[in-house]
């Protein structure tokens, strides 16, 4: 059983930085993607960063590219999201999620964390 637990979300001001962490428990067998997925109020969930757990390769949505960085630590079984220059539009519940890696447009996740709230005030 794979379990994911996010932490680090809080209220910040526009321009601030914040680091989220996802603790991964259990064994990921095969080539897995670990994604950071966010859901703003009244909106659908969208992947804003994804990492290939096996190779370390990363992709980002245009909305966060250049501001957010996803990273992994295989020894500690964690995936972090460093968020810089935060904007009010970044306000959302942030989830980490895992699934067998496929092309980005078809990526689905089978394991989900509980989510952590990030609120950015103007």
Q: What pLDDT digit, counting tens, does each position of 69-84 carry?
A: 999 998 889 999 999 9
pLDDT for 74 equals 82
pLDDT for 14 equals 98
Taking the CA atoms of residue 39, residue 2, residue 62 and residue 69 in that order, the dihedral angle to the nearest 10 degrees is 110
Taking the CA atoms of residue 55, residue 60, residue 65 and residue 70 in that order, the dihedral angle to the nearest 10 degrees is -50
pLDDT for 31 equals 93
Among 118, 96, 115, which Cα is nearest to 11's? Answer: 118
The terminus-to-terminus CA distance of the chain in angstroms comes to 40
| DSSP assignment letter at 20 | E
Consecutive 10-residue averages of pLDDT for the chain (122 residues): 95 98 91 96 96 95 98 92 98 97 94 97 94
pLDDT for 29 equals 86
């Amino acid at each position: 059983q794979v379990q994911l637990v996010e932490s680090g979300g809080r209220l910040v001001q526009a321009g601030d930085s914040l680091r989220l962490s996802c603790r991964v428990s259990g064994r990921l067998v095969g080539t897995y993607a670990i994604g950071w997925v966010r859901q703003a109020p009244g909106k659908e969930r969208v992947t804003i960063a994804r990492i290939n757990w096996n190779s370390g390769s990363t992709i980002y949505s245009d909305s966060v590219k250049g501001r957010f960085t996803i990273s992994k630590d295989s020894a500690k079984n964690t995936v972090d999201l460093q968020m810089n220059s935060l904007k009010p539009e970044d306000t959302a519940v942030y989830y980490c999620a895992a699934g067998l890696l496929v092309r980005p447009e078809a990526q689905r996740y089978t394991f989900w964390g509980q989510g952590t709230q990030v609120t950015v005030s103007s």
